[in-house]
Chains A and B, each alone.
Chain A
Amino acid sequence: MAKKSLRRGAALALSGLLAAGALAGCAAESAEETSSGSSGSTGSEAQTIRMVAAQYTDDMQPYYDDLVERFEADNPDITVEVEVVSWNDIDQKLKTMVQTGDLPDIGNLNYFSSFAADGLLYRADELIPAETLDDMVETFIENSKYEGVAYAVPDLASARLFFYNVDIFEQAGLTKDDIVTWDGLQAAAEKIAATVPDVTPLALPLGPEEAQAEFLIWAASNDGGYYQDGEWTITSDANVETAEYLQGLVDAGLTNPAPATFNRTDGAFALFAQGQAAMLNGAIFLPSVLEEQGSTINYDVAPFPTNRADGESITLGVQDYFFGFKNEGETNKEAIQKFMSFLFEADNYAGFLEAAGGFLPATKSAGESLSSDETLAPYIAVLPNAVFYPGTEASWPAVQGELQQTIGLAVEPGADIQAILEGVASQAE
């Protein structure tokens, strides 16, 4: 009996050892696989490239599956593995991959500059052929530069407009023309508060989700911004004034009560969808969100109310990027270029935009063919006045993180605006 249990114990210990060994073996094997995958020679030898792509919608994976299948049929020596990752995780995922040295070959994200700063990326002209590069909207290429050199290519862009609830406006006796300026906006909000007491006149989502965008729209509408004419201008007077103006609205009860914890999707969009908010800074994809939530409200879009010296209305343009990671010996360059230029072929790129759902194209040719689209037209019209994030600055991601954390506090009554802006500015190198 004792002997039997002893033997069983030995077997158990042995199997434990074996399992540990097998695990170690696995790890070694997979490391080998990835390194051979990305360091395959430039010859006709089979090569694997990996792409981490952003999940704009659930249609992205089927789109890439189809794209890769057709690409591999044309290029039998290249295998492409595309992993579509949700927006919540993709930033962390790419960063972890960089940190562990397990680089993908192609990345897709809303910033690129910190990767470029660390010398990890191919230049844009190594990524796509010259004629595709020439077809890109110039502003977008400008925004893809780090220290004067483009290290990424735009994959798509979005623009924003002001949304208002038509029924509430009618009840309050207001029209689109009443909200052209900041003064007009404030008067309109007061009128709504007086005549339609149950709704929030203006939804102001300065919670962490998207505070950097929300505040930039307001600041740029007041000739302010984060980075102007080659300098960080976070603590500028125009930005302080912007926060003071918003503070006034919050204090007067014309917005949601706690902007610093009020997020865009589950706060502002939800409130607007239920007809409980009269106005908000919306985006090109808000209509599809409203539709998804089964909202039946009657809404329309208007330019952002402005307080600029020139009286013009701005929009916030946000672009995302494709970029290529160098591997050892830069042996993956050719395969990346082939795949990227395949993706930007007119039909394939149109499919990409369709799968991503309602964004603005990054290429001029696709822009022309879409300019007749009624829902996109107002956004394409405001693009010449678009302001962008200073995404070309390496410290922008850190500044953005700090903005998301703290800028909402600056509009709360009694806040020390200057100190909060200085805290944000301290993240800018």
Chain B
Amino acid sequence: MAILDSAQPRKREKNLLKRFLAGPLPWITPMLVLIFGIVLWPVYEMVRTSTLDIGGSGAVRGSAGFANYLELFENPNLAGAVSRTFFWVISVVAITIFISLFLAQLLNAKFPGRRFVRYALIVPWAASVIMTATSFRWMLDGYYGIINRILLDLGFISEPIEWLGNADTSFPWLIIVAVFVSLPFTTFVILAGLQTIPNEVYEAARVDGSSSRKTYFSITLPLLRNSLFIASVINLINVFNQFPIIWVMTGGGPGYTTDTTTTLMYKLAFRSQDIGVSASLSVVNFAIVLIFVLIYIRASGFGRKED
């Protein structure tokens, strides 16, 4: 009896192990470990941190409940940063997509030296964003900047302008730089989309006597929908989380006048020494990105075509 008792479970165990090894689990376990370790666990930690009372030294003093969130919503710089973030994301993504549509069309056309133009477009992508931002920061400098030099020599301005000295001039430049670094990726996604459109469709349109404008709007654009969707969503997330350009060029300054929620989050943690409040902004940021993406998915009707 005793022997049977102990032998049976062992046998069952062995069977279980066999079943486990034969099933899909061993193959997906590393992936699951990665997802839990690298994606879900940090999210959990972020949310947990946002409910902790953390001292200026970094020491955890206990639970704060929702106090960090309340403090965050009372922050006088939050409203400006949030509206600026929306403006920043929407304008950068919209301008990027718009210019990329032209660039992709150009790169899709056959012309001598096309290969080199395609290579050249990769440069802003290949260069480190920090390097690009640093270059622009010094090109725009009021004392040594080359942009002032050129404008002065051409007679457009009569005295040097401190471009990054106030938000009215620095924020447009931040947008320009963000567009500049986003163009290559977006253009190549759209270019890839253009190349998937079969030639026969165009031939048919030509036979039917469609004008080139009509062809573009009723054939090319609709067939680019998937590429445009992917390009926009990825840009949306990237631009929203964009930190180095703003940090290097203006540091969110002067004051808080060029901060987005991403740079404000950093300042709350490392300037205002308030890690808890910063974590709560990071949770809010996470929610905003999710909302951005969900709205976009709905609006674009992506995923509905499978039905």
A-B contacts, 17 of them at CB < 8 A, read A16-B29, A16-B30, A17-B30, A98-B58, A99-B54, A99-B59, A99-B275, A117-B56, A118-B59, A118-B61, A256-B142, A258-B162, A258-B164, A276-B143, A398-B271, A402-B272, A405-B255
Which residues of A sit under 8 angstroms from B15, Cβ to Cβ? none
Using known A-B contacts A13-B26, A406-B255, determine if residue A95 contacts B58 with beta carbons closer than 8 Å.
Answer: yes
Residues of A within 8 A of B254 (CB): 258, 260-261, 408-409, 412
**Interface residue ranges, B against A (CB under 8 Å):** 26-27, 29-30, 33, 37, 54-61, 76, 142-143, 162, 164-166, 250-256, 267, 270-275
| 4 new A-B contacts at CB < 8 Å, known A207-B253, A398-B274 | A117-B56, A120-B57, A258-B164, A398-B271
User: In whole angstroms, what is the CA distance A35 to B60 when docked?
Assistant: 19
Across the interface, B29 reaches (CB within 8 A) one of A17, A92, A260, A427, namely A17
Find out whether the CB atom of A98 lies under 8 angstroms from the CB atom of B59.
Answer: yes
| B residues near A402, Cβ cutoff 8 Å | 271-272
A247 to chain B: closest CB distance in Å? 14
A401 touches B271 (CB 8 A): yes
How many A residues face the partner with a CB closer than 8 A?
44
Given contacts A261-B162, A405-B253, A406-B255, contact A397 B273 (CB under 8 A): yes
Secondary structure of the B contact surface, majority rule: loop
A356 to B231, CA, bound (A): 51
**Does A55 interact with chain B (Cβ within 8 Å)?**
no
Given contacts A20-B30, A405-B267, contact A258 B142 (CB under 8 A): yes
List the A residue with the shortest CB-CB distance to B26.
A13
* Min CB–CB distance A24 → chain B (angstroms): 9
Bound Cα distance A190, B166 (Å): 25
| A114 CB within 8 Å of chain B | yes
User: Is there a chain B Cβ closer than 8 Å to A395's Cβ?
Assistant: yes
A66 → B minimal CB distance (Å): 31
Q: How far is the CB of B162 from chain A (nearest CB, A)?
A: 4
- Please state if B60 and A99 are interface contacts (CB–CB under 8 Å): yes
Closest to B259 in A: A405
Q: A372-398, CB under 8 A of B: which get 1 and which 0?
A: 000000000000000000000011011
In the complex, whether A287 has a CB less than 8 A from a CB of chain B is no
> When chains A and B are docked, how far (Å) is the Cα of A95 from the Cα of B275?
10
Interface residues of A in 111-160 (CB under 8 A from B): 114-115, 117-118, 120
Choose one: A98, A207, A257; the contact of B57 (CB below 8 Å): A98
Instruction: Identify the closest chain A residue to B169 (Cβ).
Output: A258
